[in-house]
Structure 1
Amino acid sequence: MTLELDHHHRYPYRPITERPDFEWPEGKRLAVHIGLNFEHFHFGHGYGPALVPGRHEPDVLNYAWRDYGNRVGAWRMLEMFESLGFPVGLIVNSTIADYCPELIQAYRARLSSELIAHGRTNSESQNEFDEAGEAALIAESRDHLLDVFGERPVGWLGPWIAQSARTPDLLAEAGFVYHMDWAHDDQPVWMATRGNGSILSVPYPQEINDIPAIVPHRGDHREFEARIVDQFDEMLAQSKRQSLVMGIALHPYIMGQPFRIRSLRRALSHIAAHRDDIWLTTAGAIADHYAGVCPG
């Protein structure tokens, strides 16, 4: 008897070398998108990446470090993105709308951008709720962003990228078109949902992501710069065979630090120099185009 592993049954295995070919707009083969995370946290409790583990609450050191991103780092990054002409996906905890709405408004006014829901706060993990609680979390995040910013998000990144077994179903039922929680491919992938529905998974990286690269792995910012450049150069070459998606995941309290933003600017300038050969875009535009050329 062979062991049969439990399976999510969301998508079948299909190697990237055996899929129908397609192109991005204007015949481009590589789509590049940036996901910039705007996060807000409880003071004195809840989750949050730690500079020093084992500290007691209130953890002023870590709370203030994260708040630097909203107060300073994100504004410096806005200037950088504007100077380089980069569109940006704004991945937003809905409580940001109460804390610093002017930050999101500035990005929307000065950049080509998209609003992506990111739960209520990163002080909580999405998979710690029962079904009713998770559905309420999704609806509250969606509706509050719509009420404050006038844009209904169609994309989702879960707080802490923590899905339950039912999350794709709940997202589809709440009107979301795509999510970015599964880092399992370099192309969008249709995922089955209950009731014969589907939702699109858009690639969002765990390797080209400043939190895992720099905080737990303690990587150097220059090494992260090299990762971005090497990832881009290799994917640009690979995309001649299959159209691909390259995501870059950023957090203002990390890459908005002055010494790191200088390094990030060099990496993004390298990508910008190839803008005629690639599609610089947002995750939502990727989802929309892919659904048109490869419907679920």
Structure 2
Amino acid sequence: MPLIDLIKHGRYAYSPITVRPHFSWPGGKRLALAICNNIEVFSFLSGLGSDNTTPNATQNTRNYAWRDYGNRVGQWYLFDLLDEYEFPTSHNINSLTFQECPQLIERIISRGDELIGHGRTNAERQDTLSEAEERALIAETTDTIRKATGQQPRGWMGPYFAQSPVTLDLLKEAGYTYVLDWPADDQPFWLSTRSGPLLSVPYSLEVNDSPAIVFRQHGATEYERMIIDQFDEMLLQSEKWPLVCTIITHPFVIGHPFRLRALRRAFAHIAACRDDVWLTTPGQVAAHFASVRPAA
């Protein structure tokens, strides 16, 4: 069979980590640690949504209620845990959360956390939309966050890690400065768009409670071990080059008490090393990297 030409995305060039220019995070730190939480709302008995007991399950009362537990209970447990360890946090936020769960927004703003655009709802994907429809989705999400906070959101994470061929172009044109959807690196890197450069900030697909626990069916203690092993190994690797370690949570997954207990142990492990790392958010990572390694 003849070989076919590889289809190229044209968004970035290959760059091995071993040949990149040196830089450091603030304070001379070598490892940046960011906790990235996802706050999502879903449509009842319709659209998309996760199920923790049956792969590819249809939307039903049980899985809707299981996800709703995250916003009603699990996220509040998680807020308290984050407060206990004084960890800065970012939240990938569905814009309909502002309407459906206003108290969550009030707590996020009072904590001073970063809000990252995450579409309208995780009952839909943006890569199935036309360019005009996707532009409208991005505008609606952006306007909702801006009106509530008085600030333009800088970062975007598409529902289900999904992007269309023009998502990056539309985000750049809407005023975004970085995205989390390209898990290709442990350092930020620049992406090309039709309107100029846009930064990709690391965001783990692996140390992520949704794919790990919901889809791969790992247990809570396995996820705890993933966090600790990822952190310890990246701290070691960061002696050679600066890295970004991200921990990804969803309150309807990690917010159940027995899983929260495992997360608490992982947080305690990280907190014991807090003087060795830069505890930060994706937005701060993006801003610092852009200042020391601006786009060519």
- Report the AA paired with residue 127 of structure 1: D
What does residue 66 of structure 1 align with?
67
After superposition, give the CA deviation of every residue in 1:55-82 in whole Å (9 maximum; x if it has no partner): 555x100000000000000000000000
What does residue 93 of structure 1 align with?
94
Once the 2 structures are TM-superposed, how far is the Cα of residue 2 of structure 1 from its aligned partner? 6.0
- Report the AA paired with residue 191 of structure 2: M
What does residue 19 of structure 1 align with?
20
- Report the AA paired with residue 198 of structure 1: P
Once the 2 structures are TM-superposed, how far is the Cα of residue 54 of structure 1 from its aligned partner? 6.1
Once the 2 structures are TM-superposed, how far is the Cα of residue 107 of structure 1 from its aligned partner? 2.4
What does residue 202 of structure 1 align with?
201
Q: Are residues 134 and 270 of structure 1, via their aligned partners in 2, closer, same or farther at CA, if it must alter by over 3 Å?
A: same
Q: Please give the secondary structure, in 2, of the residue aligned with 1:49.
A: coil
For the 8 Å contact 1:126–1:160, the answer to whether it is kept is: no
Give yes or no for the alignment of 1:4 onto 2:5.
yes
Identify unmatched segments of 5+ residues in structure 1: none
Distance in 2 of aligned mates of 1:54 and 1:273: 40
Once the 2 structures are TM-superposed, how far is the Cα of residue 149 of structure 1 from its aligned partner? 3.2
Identify unmatched segments of 5+ residues in structure 2: none
What does residue 31 of structure 1 align with?
32
Which has the larger displacement, 209-218 or 47-56?
Answer: 47-56
What does residue 253 of structure 2 align with?
254
Once the 2 structures are TM-superposed, how far is the Cα of residue 17 of structure 1 from its aligned partner? 0.5
Distance in 1 of aligned mates of 2:264 and 2:29: 24
Distance in 2 of aligned mates of 1:286 and 1:85: 18
For the 8 Å contact 1:177–1:199, the answer to whether it is kept is: yes
TM-score, normalised with respect to structure 2 = 0.96
Which has the larger displacement, 199-208 or 142-151?
Answer: 142-151
Once the 2 structures are TM-superposed, how far is the Cα of residue 246 of structure 1 from its aligned partner? 0.5
What does residue 237 of structure 1 align with?
236
Distance in 2 of aligned mates of 1:168 and 1:29: 29
Q: Please give the secondary structure, in 2, of the residue aligned with 1:5.
A: coil
Give yes or no for the alignment of 1:227 onto 2:205.
no
Give yes or no for the alignment of 1:293 onto 2:292.
yes
Structure 1 runs, 4 residues or longer, greater than 6 Å off:
none
For the 8 Å contact 1:115–1:151, the answer to whether it is kept is: no
What does residue 152 of structure 1 align with?
152
After superposition, give the CA deviation of every residue in 1:131-188 in whole Å (9 maximum; x if it has no partner): 0011110010010111133332110000111001111111000000001001110000
Which has the larger displacement, 114-123 or 148-157?
Answer: 148-157
- Report the AA paired with residue 158 of structure 1: G
Give yes or no for the alignment of 1:190 onto 2:190.
yes
What does residue 212 of structure 1 align with?
211
Once the 2 structures are TM-superposed, how far is the Cα of residue 268 of structure 1 from its aligned partner? 1.0
Alignment of 1:16-165 (within 5 A): 16-51=17-52, 52-53=54-55, 57=59, 59-109=60-110, 111-165=111-165
After superposition, give the CA deviation of every residue in 1:84-103 in whole Å (9 maximum; x if it has no partner): 01000011000000011111
For the 8 Å contact 1:37–1:252, the answer to whether it is kept is: yes
Distance in 1 of aligned mates of 2:183 and 2:264: 25
Once the 2 structures are TM-superposed, how far is the Cα of residue 53 of structure 1 from its aligned partner? 4.4
- Report the AA paired with residue 11 of structure 2: R
Once the 2 structures are TM-superposed, how far is the Cα of residue 217 of structure 1 from its aligned partner? 0.6
**Alignment coverage as a number of residue pairs:** 293
- Report the AA paired with residue 192 of structure 2: A
After superposition, give the CA deviation of every residue in 1:110-130 in whole Å (9 maximum; x if it has no partner): x34111110000000010001
What is the CA RMSD across the aligned residues, in angstroms?
Answer: 1.2
After superposition, give the CA deviation of every residue in 1:198-237 in whole Å (9 maximum; x if it has no partner): 1000000010000110011100110000000000000001
Q: Are residues 80 and 65 of structure 1, via their aligned partners in 2, closer, same or farther at CA, if it must alter by over 3 Å?
A: same
TM-score, normalised with respect to structure 1 = 0.96
| Identity fraction in percent | 51
Q: Please give the secondary structure, in 2, of the residue aligned with 1:89.
A: strand
Give yes or no for the alignment of 1:173 onto 2:180.
no
